[in-house]
């Protein structure tokens, strides 16, 4: 049974009871469940994760092991 | 040519380094902005002109102690002629566009050993009375305006010469660069690129420069400038053309039909705020096999209210194209929960700086050991990530 961890997603604390999260789950935690077929591309980065790869980015289809205190940032980096 | 001559001649380089306004025109050495006193006891500025004895690509010993002057008759602080100069009024045309008013003769026993001694001797004689009347008057302005028809700059980049990185800086020459989108990030990219010796800068944007744009661009327009509602490309071209001669403003909208305008360009900075136009242009650029950098930011409001966000710099080259899961290419859901149009000047500036630094690495200006094709900066954790590493 996965223990509960507190992570930060887009600046807000979230309680998560899973060992790992998928790209879409992280996006949902940030912006809610997408309505309809959304082709939006998000830039998803994390920091303070697990030892072997504590920071990096995710693309659709990826998963990452979560850790207490891990910080995620989800953004549509499309503005200039 | 004049820049080469000066760098090879210690006496000329010394004059330049000490801040004299040196130039070489039609084989003559000029020292401009030399203060002197007129017969009316006013301080004016003139130009000393000397022939140049050369040995190959550098100066040799001055062949004459005589010097010419563009200006009025120089005097002592009381308005009386300076006898020491053995002044002779003779209007002469030394070369095309080089006319002088008089000549001076001040001959030391052994003649002048080099042009530094020759010119500084005359500068001292002329400027001493002027400095007495106006302590701020000086010939040593550190302004450098070399007649150098090959340069893309209106005035010499002395920041590069002072730091002696001219040979490294040369790697930025001969590039034709396009900046597509002159919004917040694009305008900061232009601010930085205009300070490099690239051979051409092409600006593409069809929008007008409006009041809110002022708060996301370098510089500070006046209310009058805002009222004129200039197009973005014309507004920025006017400012940066004061420094870089080769800026071209295109008020067209770049899409797959007009994109052949990019065929002659070597490198493109995509600074767009629309996913859809980004997609079209990315496809075109990949088809034209062009290297480009695409920048984008996303800023959102979190709880309790403050801003969070991420800046992204994607580098795309013929042997490393970004995957289609990386570059935002759709306009997505118009729901405000998904779409934020917040942009902040410092983030525009950061995006532009990261993009230009990355481009300079491609040119060989900066060392690159990372070769990242994706860089992201997450504001709230101060995290700069390098990913998609591969050889250039």
- The closest alpha carbon to B339, from B387, B298, B377, belongs to B298
For chain B, state the CA radius of gyration: 27
**Lowest mean pLDDT segment, chosen from B232-246, B336-350, B353-367, B376-390:** B336-350
Contact B186, B206 (CB under 8 A): no
> To 5 degrees, how large is the angle CA B255–CA A34–CA B384?
70
If residue B267 lies in a helix (H) or strand (E), which one and from where to where?
Answer: strand B267-270
pLDDT (0 to 100) of residue B87: 80
B contacts of A61 (beta carbons < 8 Å): 325
pTM of the complete model: 0.81
> Percentage of residues in chain B with pLDDT exceeding 70?
96
Reply yes or no on whether the pLDDT at B39 is more than 70: yes
pLDDT (0 to 100) of residue B248: 97
Q: Is A53 on the interface with B (CB under 8 A)?
A: no
By the 10 Å C-beta count (0-12 exposed, 13-18 middle, 19+ buried), B334 is classed as exposed
> Percentage of residues in chain B with pLDDT exceeding 90?
70
Alpha-carbon gap, residue B169 to B179, rounded angstroms: 20
Three-state DSSP at B107 gives coil
Where do we find the tokens 């010499």?
Answer: B156
CB contact under 8 A, B383 and A47: yes
- The closest alpha carbon to B10, from B43, B51, B57, belongs to B57
CB contact under 8 A, B339 and A76: yes
pLDDT (0 to 100) of residue B333: 54
Please state the rounded mean pLDDT for residues B194-223.
96
pLDDT (0 to 100) of residue B254: 81
CB pairs under 8 A between A and B: 126
CB contact under 8 A, A80 and B338: no
Alpha-carbon gap, residue B37 to B190, rounded angstroms: 44
Distance from CA of A3 to the nearest CA of B (A): 25
CB contact under 8 A, A78 and B274: yes
- The closest alpha carbon to A22, from A46, A47, A54, belongs to A46
CB contact under 8 A, B275 and A56: no
Reply yes or no on whether the pLDDT at B154 is more than 90: no
Contact B50, B29 (CB under 8 A): yes
Cis peptide bond N-terminal to A38, omega within 30: no
Q: Identify the residue among B309, B346, B375, B386 best suited for mutation to test binding to A, counting A beta carbons within 10 A and taking the highest.
A: B309
Which token pair is B79? 């308005």
Residue B28 forms beta bridges with which residues? B25, B51
Number of Cα atoms under 13 Å in the Cβ half of residue B191: 17
B contacts of A48 (beta carbons < 8 Å): 381
Describe the strand order of the beta sheet including B98-105 as a list of residue ranges: B21-25, B28-37, B43-51, B66-70, B98-105, B88-95
CB contact under 8 A, A38 and B333: yes
- In this structure, the strands spanning A20-22 and A63-65 are antiparallel
pLDDT (0 to 100) of residue B391: 67
Question: Average pLDDT of each block of 10 consecutive residues along chain A (80 residues)?
Answer: 89 96 95 71 95 94 96 94
pLDDT (0 to 100) of residue A38: 65
Contact B190, B179 (CB under 8 A): yes
Q: Is A75 on the interface with B (CB under 8 A)?
A: yes
If residue B306 lies in a helix (H) or strand (E), which one and from where to where?
Answer: none
Q: Could you read off the pLDDT of B235-272 as tens digits, one per residue?
A: 999 999 999 999 999 988 787 777 778 889 999 999 99
Give the residue on B whose Cα is nearest the Cα of A32: B337
Which token pair is B369? 């050991």
Q: Any residues with CB less than 8 A from the CB of A19 and at least 6 apart, and which?
A: A2, A65, A66
CB contact under 8 A, A79 and B341: yes
Please state the φ and ψ torsions of residue B97, each to the nearest 5 degrees. 65, 15
- The closest alpha carbon to B193, from B210, B185, B131, belongs to B185
Q: Could you read off the pLDDT of B86-134 as tens digits, one per residue?
A: 788 889 888 878 899 999 999 998 899 999 999 999 999 999 999 999 9
- The DSSP output letter for B353 is H
CB contact under 8 A, A55 and B271: no
Alpha-carbon gap, residue B282 to B36, rounded angstroms: 61
Q: Is A78 on the interface with B (CB under 8 A)?
A: yes
Residue B102 forms beta bridges with which residues? B69, B89
Alpha-carbon gap, residue B106 to B67, rounded angstroms: 9
CB contact under 8 A, B328 and A40: yes
Q: Is A77 on the interface with B (CB under 8 A)?
A: yes
Q: Could you read off the pLDDT of B48-85 as tens digits, one per residue?
A: 999 998 887 889 999 899 999 999 999 999 999 998 88
Pick from B299, B310, B325: CB nearest A59: B325
ipTM of the complex: 0.94
Q: Is A54 on the interface with B (CB under 8 A)?
A: no
* Composition of chain B by helix, strand, coil, percent to 5: 30, 30, 40
pLDDT (0 to 100) of residue B95: 82
How would you label B353-386 residue by residue, b for 16+ Cβ within 10 Å and e otherwise? bbbbebbbbbbebeeeeebbbbbbbbbbbebebe
pLDDT (0 to 100) of residue B392: 55
């Amino acid at each position: 049974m996965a223990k509960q961890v507190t992570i930060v997603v887009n600046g807000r604390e979230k309680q998560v009871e899973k060992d790992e999260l998928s790209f879409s789950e992280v996006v949902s935690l940030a912006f809610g469940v997408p309505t309809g077929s959304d082709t939006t591309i998000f830039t998803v980065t994390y920091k303070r994760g697990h030892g072997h790869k504590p920071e990096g980015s995710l693309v659709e289809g990826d998963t990452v092991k979560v850790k207490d205190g891990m910080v995620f940032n989800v953004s549509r980096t499309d503005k200039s | 040519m004049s820049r080469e001559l000066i760098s090879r001649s210690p006496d000329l380089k010394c004059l330049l380094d000490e801040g004299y306004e040196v130039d070489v025109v039609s084989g003559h050495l000029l020292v401009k902005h030399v203060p002197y006193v007129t017969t009316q006891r006013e301080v004016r500025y003139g130009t000393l002109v000397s022939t140049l004895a050369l040995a190959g690509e550098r100066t040799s010993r001055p062949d004459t102690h005589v010097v010419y002057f563009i200006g009025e008759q120089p005097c002592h602080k009381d308005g009386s002629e300076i006898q020491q100069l053995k002044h002779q009024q003779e209007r002469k045309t030394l070369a095309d566009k080089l006319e002088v008013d008089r000549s001076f003769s001040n001959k030391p026993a052994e003649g002048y050993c080099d042009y530094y001694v020759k010119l500084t001797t005359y500068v001292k004689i002329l400027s001493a009375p002027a400095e007495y009347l106006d302590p701020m008057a000086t010939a040593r302005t550190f302004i450098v305006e070399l007649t150098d028809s090959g340069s893309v700059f209106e005035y010499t980049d002395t920041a590069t010469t002072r730091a002696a990185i001219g040979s490294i800086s040369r790697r930025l020459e001969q590039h034709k660069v396009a900046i597509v989108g002159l919004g917040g990030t694009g305008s900061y990219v232009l601010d930085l690129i205009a300070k490099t010796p690239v051979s051409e800068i092409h600006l593409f944007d069809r929008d007008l420069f409006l009041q809110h744009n002022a708060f996301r661009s370098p510089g500070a327009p006046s209310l009058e400038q805002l009222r004129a509602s200039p197009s973005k490309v014309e507004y920025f071209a006017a400012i940066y053309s004061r420094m870089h001669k080769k800026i071209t403003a295109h008020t067209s909208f770049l899409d797959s039909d007009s994109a052949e305008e990019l065929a002659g360009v070597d490198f493109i900075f995509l600074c767009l705020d629309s996913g859809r136009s980004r997609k079209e242009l990315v496809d075109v650029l990949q088809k034209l096999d062009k290297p480009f950098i695409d920048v984008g930011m996303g800023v959102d409001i979190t709880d309790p209210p403050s801003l969070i966000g991420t800046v992204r710099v994607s580098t795309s080259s013929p042997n490393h194209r970004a995957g289609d899961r990386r570059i935002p290419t759709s306009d997505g859901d118009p729901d405000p929960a998904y779409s934020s149009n917040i942009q902040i000047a410092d983030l525009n500036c950061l995006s532009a700086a990261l993009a230009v630094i990355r481009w300079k690495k491609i040119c060989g200006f900066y060392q690159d050991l990372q070769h990242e094709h994706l860089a992201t900066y997450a504001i709230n954790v101060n995290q700069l990530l390098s990913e998609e590493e591969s050889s250039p």
